[in-house]
Amino acid sequence: MEEEERGWWEATPGDEPEPEIKPETTQATEVAATTIGLGEGVTNNTILGIFSGGLVIGLFSPWNWYGSGFQALRWSFEDVQFVLTDGLSFYSEWGMTPLDYIQWLMYPLLPLVFVTTFVATWRNKSRQGDEEFGRKASIFHLCFFGVWYLLNILNSGLLTGQFELVFPTERNYGMWIAAASGIGLHPTVYGLGEHITAWFDNR
């Protein structure tokens, strides 16, 4: 008997599409995804951990009249409450301007903002791993300190007539260390990741 002809609905072996080969997700690719811009072997968590240590060092260090950053953090809520309530009575008595008052209010919030940005970033990483959150937290951390710093220069300049840059001293360098630690919240540490990676590789 002659072989029956194939129907048009039946695919021939040559017409069958080849199965799509998808790359397997391995631990190496997962590590590579977490080291973008940081170099091989250095993860975002490593960088964040290093700068978290910097924040702790800053909180242990001198912080003006508070003695240390931890003391400033301890009194943060009470000081903010004082500025918003009883402090209003000193506004006219001390001849303050709106910028003076804003700077006064922002100062006790500094340690609270610094710690909150790190806690929130670590918490977000453990739950969602969203790097965009760390980028936003870093910008807020640094900008909050930057606004306070500029107000400090502006208010001092309006009072004395001389606008001068303010630098860390032996009485307040802890505040500056804690402020700078916010750089590490950024996923790529603003491009510093490559230099940190080189340091690890040369050890």
Confidence of residue 8 (pLDDT cuts 50, 70, 90): very low
State the greatest distance between any 2 C-alpha atoms of the chain, in Å, as a whole number.
114
What's the average model confidence in pLDDT over 138-155?
A: 96
What's the average model confidence in pLDDT over 6-29?
A: 49
**Tokens, residue 125:** 């990483």
Confidence of residue 34 (pLDDT cuts 50, 70, 90): very low
pLDDT for position 47: 87
Rounded-to-integer distance, Cα 168 and Cα 145, Å = 13
- Asked whether the predicted pLDDT for residue 27 surpasses 70, the reply is no
Q: What average pLDDT is seen over the chain?
A: 81
Strands (E), the chain: none
For residues 124, 127, 130 and 131, what is the CA-based torsion angle, rounded to 10 degrees? 60
- Asked whether the predicted pLDDT for residue 125 surpasses 80, the reply is yes
Which carries the bigger pLDDT value, residue 186 or residue 44? 186
pLDDT for position 29: 36
Confidence of residue 2 (pLDDT cuts 50, 70, 90): very low
Q: What own/partner pairs with CB < 8 Å and gap ≥ 24 does 160-166 have?
A: none
Rounded-to-integer distance, Cα 112 and Cα 75, Å = 10
Q: What percentage of the chain reaches a pLDDT higher than 70?
A: 73
